[in-house]
Structure 1
Amino acid sequence: MTRRQLWLAFSFVTTATFMVNVDSSIVNVALPTLSHQFHLSVASLQWVVTMYLLVITAILPIVAKLADVFGRRRIFVIGLMIFSLSSLFCGLSPNFPDLVAARGLQGVGGAIMQANVMSIVTLMFPVEMRGRALGTIGSVVAAGTLMGPILGGLLISWFGWPSIFYVNVPIGILGVAGILRYVPEFPGKPLQRSFDLLGGVLFAAFVVSFLTLFADLSHAAVSYKDGALTIVTALLLYAFIRVESRHPEPLVELSVFKRPLFSAAMGAGLLYWILMLFPAFLMPLYLQEVLHLPVWEIGLLMTPQSIAMLVISPIGGYLSDRYGTVGPAALGIGLFVAADIWFASLGTHASLLSAIGALTLQGIAAGMFSSPNNAEIFNRADKEMTGIVGGLIASERNFGRSLGVTFAALALSLGMQLFSGTRVKSAEMGVLPSHVFVTGFDFAFWIAVCVALLAMMFVFYPRLRRDKGLREVAMIKGE
């Protein structure tokens, strides 16, 4: 392939990536509109986001392995077609259950594309051009995340909420045509051993059971159903670990978690993604229900976080290269604590400047933390396991985002229930008084502060472990 053909093929592949990242952030802006359109409670509304992320998390390991076997371009095109068709179904949904089902189908397409885009780009480009191409993917992801709220606010204001899904259809058709025309076919590799289908099924079942349990807790009081779900979830996790530890070619390589420092870095990363979804889910609702802003303005106000993260991320990476990963990551988590306290203090009469400031500080925190923590994860694994670790980070990202939405909705509902004096868990968002919503909103972000402090413990674990080892050596020498 010529250089021109390479970058043309790259543009069509990353068009799909751009579309997926736009979709991830564009739906958050639509949450207030959807809550009014379908008369939804917080517990129901979360499924617009959770179903999409849940499906991606559940099937990502399976589709990644299928692409190895059947060829990456073929599987990628199938994923793009599914995503585009399901976007049409989302826009045409006459009721909320149909919309949630269509979002689940969208998740299937999103998982297939996420599992393959970086691999396809790596296979297409020669070694001397690969770093530039992979770096450009990061820019495409950032651009999509940044454009989502702005585009969503404008489309909903002009054409209504279905338009945020319809826009994917022509882009998807163009992407399929371009990929089939310019991207080479990469033949699959037959399995040397049996496909770990049981492990994939158990992982998917565990994810669905776990997230359904916490989503159900935001709907009503604890019931026998929740107790049964807890038992089922625990059994599925146990069975999954047993199967993966014995399979000769597991979908998820669990042996890397035997390293405490690697596990600590992964734990901090999971909590980071949970923290990121608290404002992503709750702030659009706050801006509509409390400050009563039009949807196009909500879209604009959600962008400072992405801009701040885009600017600060390279600085976080530079500091981790120069001073080590612990200091910058700890600073990032400290800024998360400050941002979440700021969110919790907004109240019923916050200024737009204060809301923008809290979102900007959250973006600075994310930019400062993400690069050092990812570097720590890779530093604590063997070089030959880089591909496995990359897949684990992708699964962690989607699982953490799913948990973030679920925990944010649960905390919001629980806070309103505990402090409003009325039963509001199943009440429609549009009929809740502002002060009732704010009580739950404040409580949710104090929960986020606790999550951030737990993440801080994971960040400092390597240093604590090292200090303990030095003390033990000193004691031995003293003897």
Structure 2
Amino acid sequence: MDKTLSDGLSGPQRYGAIFAIALGITMAVLDGAIANVALPTIARDLLASPAESIWVVNSYQIAIIVSLLSMSFLGDLFGYRRVYQCGLVLFCLTSLFCALSTSLPMLTVARVLQGFGGAALMSVNTALIRLIYPQRFLGRGMGINSFIVAVSSAAGPTVAAAILSVASWQWLFLINVPIGIMALLLALRYLPPNQQKAQGQRFDIPSAIMNALTFGLLISAISGFSQGQSGALIAGELVALVIIGYFFIRRQLALPFPILPVDLLRIPIFSLSMGTSVRSFTAQMLAFVSLPFFLQTVLGRSEVDTGLLLTPWPLATMVMAPLAGYLIERVHAGLLGGIGLAVMAAGLFALALLPHNPSDLDIVWRMILCGAGFGLFQSPNNHTIISAAPRHRSGGASGMLGTARLLGQSSGAALVALMFNMFHEHGTHASLLLAGSFATLAAIVSSLRLSQPRVQA
């Protein structure tokens, strides 16, 4: 094997490559949340109702989830660098399309196409990191990647508010164009190629269609449940999901190179890491969605206070993620993940058991516990998922990692709605207790990985 592929990149080329990854992922993650802040303005400007404007956000998320695994398979087939570069081009063009949209349907279509570009970026970014970093430093690369995602997620509302304070909502999308062009230039120069596709590997169009339908129906049913859609419609979606999903899984099991890499789930440490990831992101989203309600309706904090009190969580994750990336080179991921998720669970239970009139400090240290615990878990878990897969299947593992995150987040948001419906005024407490339970379960699953040998990148 070429030394560049086995030992990563060196010096300036590595820095240029990781900067190209950082810029692309920052755009893709930011655009998942940045439009939320501008929805009232967009709805008013495009003469749409608030309910209709939600599709500006939903269309982007659905496009990512239905295409993520197909994009990762294309990365294994044609090269991660090529898919990433094409994703940057598509993301830039569709960002311009979003900014030029003059109606809600036009903007929704643009967001769907932008979601496909975002999926191309998200599907292969961790696979590229496996090529960029030497094997012994892969944990550091994963830590930096987790740091970038955490910063982007935390900065979304702030960046949106800053742009909207000086410009129109169109600039939320136009700003992606110069950033995307810079990322593309860096990607063209610095990103490394991966090995050629395996013998007989080809793209299966029926699998891609069934993949899109399966995950599209799943997200639609979860979203519909959380928004209170009719039970008959949700039941119909679930029936269709079961039927299509059955034939989809059956087809994947028969293929030597499936789009949904179910064969990777036969690797014990891979499947345990995936289970840990879904549960942890479910816990995270249960908290993220319920905490604003908890702080404002239960504790009587203002919107500004709520934003400030939530900030310690992502800040602690930002600090801990790179440190965890260094620790994975010395400590088993199962142990790091187990400790991190136990700390997160302790923070979530502590938030649910806050006194009636807590001080800001009472809230802040609990938020720090949650964020630090999540940061300690995330980098080692991502490292394990990518490293457990054969090198030529890194794209599939990267796609599975992103899919686990999106499924966990969607499930968490739906469970908050269920808790609110079941427990009414105590729904926020129930959500936080459930989040702590999911984090505890994730810690147990993570600890089961200690029985497996440490994976090598």
TM-score between both structures, scaled by the size of structure 1: 0.73
CA distance in 2, matches of 1:243, 1:133: 35
Residue 431 of structure 1: aligned partner? none
Query: Which has the larger Rg?
Result: 1
Aligned to 1:450: 437
Of 333, 339, 342, the residue aligned with 2:341 is: 333
**Aligned with 1:81 (options 65, 89, 106):** 89
Shift of 1:214: 1.4
Q: 2:119 aligns with which of 93, 111, 119?
A: 111
Which residue in the other structure is 1:429 paired with?
none
Q: 1:166 Cα deviation (Å)?
A: 2.9
Per-residue deviation, 1:114: 2.4
Aligned to 1:199: 207
Q: Distance in 1 between matches of 2:55 and 2:352?
A: 24
Q: Following TM superposition, by how much is the alpha carbon of 1:247 offset from its aligned partner in structure 2, in angstroms? A: 1.1
| Range that drifts further, 183-192 or 273-282 | 183-192
Q: What is the match of residue 219 of structure 2?
A: 211
Q: Tell me which amino acid in the other structure corresponds to 2:445.
A: F
Q: Which residue of 2 aligns with 1:368?
A: 376
Determine the C-alpha separation between the residues in 2 that align with 1:301 and 1:256: 40
Is 1:392 equivalent to 2:397 in the alignment? Answer: yes
- Give the conservation status (yes or no) of the 8 Å contact 2:143–2:323: no
Deviations, residues 34-86 of structure 1 (Å, cap 9, x unaligned)? 79996646xx7876555433322321222233345455555433311221233
Closer, same or farther: CA 68–336 of 1 in aligned 2, 3 Å? closer
Alignment of 1:9-158 (within 5 A): 11-24=19-32, 26-27=34-35, 40=50, 49-70=57-78, 72-91=80-99, 99-117=107-125, 137=145, 140-158=148-166
Q: Which residue of 2 aligns with 1:414?
A: 418
- 8 Å contact from structure 2 (residues 99, 170) kept in 1: yes
Amino acid in structure 1 at the alignment position of 2:259: L
How do 1:414-433 and structure 2 match up within 5 A?
414-420=418-424
Contact 1:333 1:455 in 2 (8 A): yes
Q: Structure 1 residue 461: deviation in Å?
A: 4.1
Q: CA deviation at 1:130?
A: 8.5
Counterpart residue number, 1:293:
303
What TM-score do you get using the length of structure 2 for normalisation?
0.76
* Structure 1 residue 298 displacement after superposition: 6.3
In structure 1, the residue matched to 2:5 is: none
Give the conservation status (yes or no) of the 8 Å contact 2:339–2:443.
no
The answer to whether structure 1 residue 459 and structure 2 residue 451 are counterparts is no
Identity %: 28
Conservation of the 8 A alpha-carbon contact between 1:82 and 1:106: yes
Contact 2:99 2:171 in 1 (8 A): yes
Q: For structure 2, which runs of at least 5 residues remain unmatched after alignment?
A: 1-8, 453-457
- Indicate if the aligned counterparts of 2:81 and 2:192 stay in contact, CA closer than 8 A: yes
The corresponding residue for 1:256 is 264
Per the TM alignment, residue 238 of structure 1 is displaced from its structure 2 partner at its CA by 1.4
Alpha carbons of 1:298 and 1:148: their partners in 2 closer, same or farther (altered >3 Å)? farther
349-358 or 31-40: bigger deviation: 31-40
CA displacement, residues 136-184 of structure 1 (integer Å, 9 cap, x when unaligned)? 5555445444543432332234435544333212212333455456768
Rate the CA distance shift 1:374–1:112 in 2: closer, same or farther, 3 A.
closer
What's the offset of the Cα at 1:131?
8.6
Tell me the equivalent position of 2:4.
Answer: none
Instruction: Give how far 1:284 is off.
Output: 5.5
| Counterparts in 2 of 1:407 and 1:133: CA distance versus 1, 3 Å | closer
**Could you tell which deviates more after superposition, 333-342 or 94-103?**
94-103
Question: Structure 1, unaligned stretches of length 5 or more?
Answer: 421-435, 466-479
